[in-house]
Each structure stands twice: as C-alpha cells, then as structure tokens.
Amino acid sequence: MIKKISHIAIIVPDLDASLAFWRDTLGLELSHTEEVASQESIVAFLPAGEGEVELVQPTTDTSGAARFLARRGPGLHHIALEVDNLDEMLARLKAKGVRLINETPIAAAGGNRAAFIHPESANGVLVELYEAPRQ
C-alpha cells in the first residue's frame, strides 16, 4: 500500500538563503515554488529521483511550521509516504489504535489528499500519508 517516499519537508526561515545551499551548492534542481495556503507557507520543491526535498518557509506566526521554527529552529519537520489508497490506510490505522492528527484527509500541496500521523505513534516522527492523483 505504500508506494514510495514522496518527500522530506524541512522548515527554513528564508527560502532564498536555503536555496543557496540545496540548489546552488548541493546541485538539486528547483522545480517550482508554491504558496500552500492550508499550511500558511511558501514551499520550494526540489525533485530527487522519484521523491522531493521540500523547503517550507512559514508565512505567518501561527502555523504548525512557524511554531516549530520558533521553538526548535530550522530542521527536518516531516516525511511523507505515498499511499495508493488513503481512505483504506486511515481506516486500517484507526483500527489498530494509531493516533492520527487528521482522521479525514486534508488538502496538501497541489490540491492532493493527505493526512498526518501523530509523532507519538511513530517513534517521534511526524509522518504524512500522501495520496497522488490517479493517472
């Protein structure tokens, strides 16, 4: 049911300064940047093979990303795994007693469906389950 690592999200205070490292120094390509209203952030997408590194700059002081940045500084925020059927996966996780942040799917970047597992159920890791649109 899990198809691949979809992306790794890194919270940063300044997208341009971060691109100087991830794009210009490390050599990843920048596919595009997108304002993700639901996350109150601007996100830069840098493909790496079949996955992506995402740099997330909060645009407000109130989002989860902004509070993470204020509390812990820049760093790894979450990993996203692509699933083929998000509804089935969420039903399965609920049945097994996994603590979910989103019991029903939310809108992720690009308008796709996603849901987050609480770090308490996943060894301290914030895990996004991401469902790509069917081709």
Binding residues among 115-134 for a copy of itself as defined by CB under 8 A? 119, 121-125
User: Shortest distance, CB of residue 23 to a copy of itself, whole angstroms?
Assistant: 11
Which of 102, 95, 92 lies closest to 128, judged by CA?
102
**Residue 8 sits in the site that holds a copy of itself (CB under 8 A):** yes
Residues binding a copy of itself: what is the number (CB under 8 A)? 41
114-to-102, 106, 130 alpha-carbon distances in Å: 8, 5, 4
Among 33, 40, 42, 51, binds a copy of itself (CB under 8 A): 51
**DSSP characters over 35-59:** EEGGGTEEEEEEEETTEEEEEEEES
Which x/- pattern over 99-118 shows residues binding a copy of itself (rule: CB under 8 A)? Answer: --------------------
